[in-house]
């Protein structure tokens, strides 16, 4: 072991600016992600405050629309994606017995693009005419007509995309080239597997978004007319290109969280993962299917019947591999010696809320029903159950699971459980009523609503404030664990299995300089 190299790195600001160390970069990603989460969270409170009662109270409709748009962009591209790239950076080398990421310098670069991109994204809000207000999907004609704030946003998304493409190339190269001898692909931890597949999704989908964004920019400034009906273009083309990226994107967000569940549930059920191979194949099938279902986001544009049927059946097909995964998690717990530490609570909670989001997704997949649900709060409820309920639950699960490994200190278990339960209550209070609002016909992205929707909206607003306040517990727990606390053992969890648990807690700055032997 190379514990003697522990302190051999620059200190202070230059350590973080010039670092090529996967652990440092992982930390940077996570700190960045949670900073963005605070910003995006505050935006959601602006939205929920305005929706406390019908009529226009706090903000003007244009600013409200900017909040819904930028909240989504910040949470997706600034929080969820960087947070999981951070987890990948921290954990994948330690899980596969590699000394670092395959391309450490590029790793530094892919992180340091992010603060600049985020600055652009936020600055857009302060430009004359404000930020983008046409929704995060950037549909033309609004995204072609918007002011200079829209240009800031488009450029920012370009940078965020580049960052995640570079990060993905690094993750693929690390997993394919740097595994310890004896660790075959089918012996890899599921988290590495789901990230490998996610990284391929990213390099296949993000460039398509980059293409769509570039077309928007040239439409805006260089006289092209890809999306301008007046010039022979077609706004519907943008929707096709966007969702060709957009649907794989939702699996980019959720697959790494599935990997986390697959690490944690066996640990606390004290049984190996049920159906490891089927888990790998299910993940790969979800990824492949995600490329042929994009038009289910746009059933109402006037597609031919044959197209609608194709996309409906293809979408429903995804429920099969997804069902395999849920079945495997439940079977892993079946007759296990389960304990319910905080990471396990987040994982089981995540599987549960994801199942709700999955079922509402199936409802939305049904074309004739979708004509009713399209652009209502039902959709908002659905994707928050999936993105918050699976991705963010997975993120919290992962952080509680590995925080003792990273910091060398146990976090406060009691507070961790409080964090879980308060968030779960708040989250469901926020989003469950939105299902009913949507079914009753309340449209999304509108600052005002009909009187009969008031009560459900007030529950939702109370839930939002409750949820976000509960996150203060998380920040307190994380900072406390970084500063000190009960010493964590190397293995941390009784049922833990995997290379990262063979390292000391905290692991040395350079770990696995000598590759471990895998039996």
The CA angle 251-366-74, to the nearest 5 degrees, is: 35
Q: Which of 43, 70, 95, 103 binds other proteins (CB under 8 A)?
A: 103
Q: Which of 22, 71, 271, 445 is catalytic?
A: 71
Q: Is 305 in the site for other proteins (CB under 8 A)?
A: yes
Which 20-39 residues touch other proteins, going by CB under 8 A?
20
Distance separating alpha carbons of residues 164 and 248, to the nearest angstrom: 14
Q: Is 1 in the site for other proteins (CB under 8 A)?
A: no
Task: Note whether 41 and 427 are within 8 A (CB).
Answer: no
| Span interacting with other proteins, options 53-61, 95-103, 114-122, 335-343, rule CB under 8 A | 95-103
Nearest residue (CB) to other proteins, 55 versus 302:
302
- Is 110 labeled as catalytic in the residue annotation? no
Q: Is 4 in the site for other proteins (CB under 8 A)?
A: no
Q: Which of 163, 267, 332, 423 is catalytic?
A: 163
Nearest residue (CB) to other proteins, 305 versus 479:
305
Measured over the CA atoms of residue 180, residue 17, residue 80 and residue 83, the dihedral's sign is positive
Residue from 71, 81, 157, 141 nearest 380 by CA: 71
- Is 270 labeled as catalytic in the residue annotation? no
Q: Which of 207, 441, 485, 504 binds other proteins (CB under 8 A)?
A: 207
Structure tokens at 234: 């077609």
Distance separating alpha carbons of residues 467 and 460, to the nearest angstrom: 10
- Is 71 labeled as catalytic in the residue annotation? yes
**Shortest distance, CB of residue 447 to other proteins, whole angstroms?**
22
Q: How many Å from the N-terminal Cα to the C-terminal Cα in the chain?
A: 19
Q: Is 204 in the site for other proteins (CB under 8 A)?
A: yes
- Is 220 labeled as catalytic in the residue annotation? no
- Is 360 labeled as catalytic in the residue annotation? no
Measured over the CA atoms of residue 116, residue 119, residue 121 and residue 127, the dihedral's sign is negative
Which 471-510 residues touch other proteins, going by CB under 8 A?
510
Q: Which of 74, 102, 157, 392 binds other proteins (CB under 8 A)?
A: 102
Nearest residue (CB) to other proteins, 170 versus 263:
170
Q: Which of 179, 296, 409, 445 is catalytic?
A: 296
| CA dihedral of 336, 337, 342, 347, whole degrees rounded to 10 | 0
Residue 481 CA: distances (Å) to CA of 346, 355, 398, 475, 477 = 18, 32, 15, 10, 6
Q: Which of 23, 24, 29, 136 is catalytic?
A: 136
Q: Which of 12, 55, 128, 302 binds other proteins (CB under 8 A)?
A: 302
Distance separating alpha carbons of residues 72 and 53, to the nearest angstrom: 22
One symbol per residue from 51 to 90: x for binding other proteins (CB under 8 A), - otherwise; what is it?
Answer: ----------------------------------------
- Is 163 labeled as catalytic in the residue annotation? yes
One symbol per residue from 125 to 154: x for binding other proteins (CB under 8 A), - otherwise; what is it?
Answer: --------------------x---------
Number of other CB atoms surrounding residue 452 within 10 Å: 12
Task: Note whether 328 and 346 are within 8 A (CB).
Answer: no
Size of the site for other proteins (CB under 8 A): 59
**Shortest distance, CB of residue 512 to other proteins, whole angstroms?**
8
One symbol per residue from 225 to 264: x for binding other proteins (CB under 8 A), - otherwise; what is it?
Answer: xx-xxxxx-x-xx--xx--xx-------------------
Task: Note whether 45 and 468 are within 8 A (CB).
Answer: yes
Distance separating alpha carbons of residues 49 and 240, to the nearest angstrom: 34
293 Cβ contact list (under 8 Å, min separation 6): 247, 311, 314, 315, 318
> Can you list the pairs that 272-277 forms with residues at least 24 positions away whose Cβ atoms lie under 8 Å?
272/332, 272/497, 273/190, 273/328, 273/332, 274/328, 274/329, 274/331, 274/332, 274/334, 275/324, 275/327, 275/328, 275/331, 276/186, 276/190, 277/186
- Is 184 labeled as catalytic in the residue annotation? no
Q: Is 8 in the site for other proteins (CB under 8 A)?
A: yes
Q: Which of 172, 326, 356, 464 binds other proteins (CB under 8 A)?
A: 172
Nearest residue (CB) to other proteins, 141 versus 485:
141
CB neighbour burial string for 259-274, b if at least 16 within 10 angstroms, e if fewer = bbbbbbbbbbbbbebb
**Shortest distance, CB of residue 468 to other proteins, whole angstroms?**
36
Q: Is 170 in the site for other proteins (CB under 8 A)?
A: yes
- Is 225 labeled as catalytic in the residue annotation? no
Q: Which of 249, 308, 370, 500 is catalytic?
A: 249
Query: What single DSSP character describes residue 223?
Result: -
Structure tokens at 90: 């921290």
- Is 419 labeled as catalytic in the residue annotation? no
Q: Which of 46, 127, 169, 330 binds other proteins (CB under 8 A)?
A: 169
**Shortest distance, CB of residue 103 to other proteins, whole angstroms?**
6
- Is 8 labeled as catalytic in the residue annotation? no
Q: Which of 220, 271, 325, 382 is catalytic?
A: 325
Task: Note whether 433 and 449 are within 8 A (CB).
Answer: no
- Is 23 labeled as catalytic in the residue annotation? no
Positions marked catalytic: 71, 100, 136, 163-164, 247, 249, 251, 262, 296-297, 322, 325, 444
* Binding site residues, other proteins, CB under 8 A: 2, 5, 8, 20, 98-100, 102-104, 106, 145, 165, 168-170, 172-173, 176-178, 180-181, 203-212, 215, 223, 225-226, 228-232, 234, 236-237, 240-241, 244-245, 301-305, 510, 512-515
């Amino acid at each position: 072991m190379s514990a003697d190299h522990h302190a051999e790195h620059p200190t202070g600001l230059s350590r973080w600016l010039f670092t090529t160390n996967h652990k440092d970069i992982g930390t940077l990603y996570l700190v960045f992600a949670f900073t963005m989460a605070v910003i995006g969270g505050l935006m959601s409170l602006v939205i929920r405050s305005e929706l406390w009662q019908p009529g226009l109270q706090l903000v003007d409709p244009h600013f409200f629309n900017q909040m819904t748009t930028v909240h989504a962009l910040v949470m997706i591209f600034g929080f969820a994606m960087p947070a999981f790239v951070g987890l990948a950076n921290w954990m994948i080398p330690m899980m596969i017995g590699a000394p670092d990421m395959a391309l450490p310098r590029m790793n530094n670069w892919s992180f340091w693009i992010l603060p600049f991109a985020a600055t652009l994204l936020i600055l857009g809000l302060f430009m004359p005419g404000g930020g983008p207000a046409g929704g995060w999907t950037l549909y033309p004609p609004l995204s072609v007509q918007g002011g200079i704030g829209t240009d800031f946003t488009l450029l920012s998304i370009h940078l965020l995309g580049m960052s995640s493409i570079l990060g993905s190339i690094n993750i693929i190269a690390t997993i394919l080239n740097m595994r310890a001898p004896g660790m075959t692909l089918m012996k890899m931890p599921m988290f590495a597997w789901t990230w490998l597949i996610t990284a391929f999704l990213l390099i296949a989908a993000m460039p398509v978004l980059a293409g769509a964004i570039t077309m928007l920019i040239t439409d805006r400034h260089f006289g092209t007319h890809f999306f301008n009906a007046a010039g022979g273009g077609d706004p519907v083309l943008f929707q096709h290109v966007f969702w060709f990226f957009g649907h794989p994107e939702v699996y980019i967000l959720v697959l790494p969280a599935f990997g986390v569940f697959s690490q944690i549930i066996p640990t606390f059920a004290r049984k190996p993962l049920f159906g490891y191979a089927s888990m790998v194949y299910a993940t790969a099938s979800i990824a492949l299917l995600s490329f042929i279902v994009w038009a289910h986001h746009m059933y109402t544009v006037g597609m031919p019947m044959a197209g609608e049927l194709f996309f409906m059946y293809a979408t429903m097909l995804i429920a099969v591999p997804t069902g395999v995964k849920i079945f495997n998690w439940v079977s892993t717990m079946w007759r296990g010696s389960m304990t319910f530490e905080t990471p396990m609570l987040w994982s089981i909670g995540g599987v549960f809320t994801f199942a709700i989001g999955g079922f509402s997704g199936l409802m939305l997949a049904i074309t004739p029903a979708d004509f009713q649900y399209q652009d209502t709060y039902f959709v908002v409820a659905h994707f928050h159950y999936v993105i918050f309920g699976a991705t963010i639950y997975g993120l919290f699960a992962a952080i509680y699971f590995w925080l003792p490994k990273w910091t060398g200190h146990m976090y406060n278990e009691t507070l961790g459980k409080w964090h879980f339960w308060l968030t779960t209550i708040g989250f469901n209070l926020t989003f469950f009523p939105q299902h009913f609002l949507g079914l009753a016909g309340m449209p999304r992205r509108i600052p005002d609503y009909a009187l009969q929707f008031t009560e459900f909206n007030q529950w939702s607003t109370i839930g939002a404030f409750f949820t976000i306040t509960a996150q203060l517990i998380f920040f307190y727990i994380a900072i406390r664990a970084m500063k000190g606390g009960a010493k964590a053992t190397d293995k941390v969890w009784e049922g833990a299995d995997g290379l990262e648990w063979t390292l000391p807690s905290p692991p040395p700055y350079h770990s696995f300089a000598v590759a471990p032997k895998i039996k």
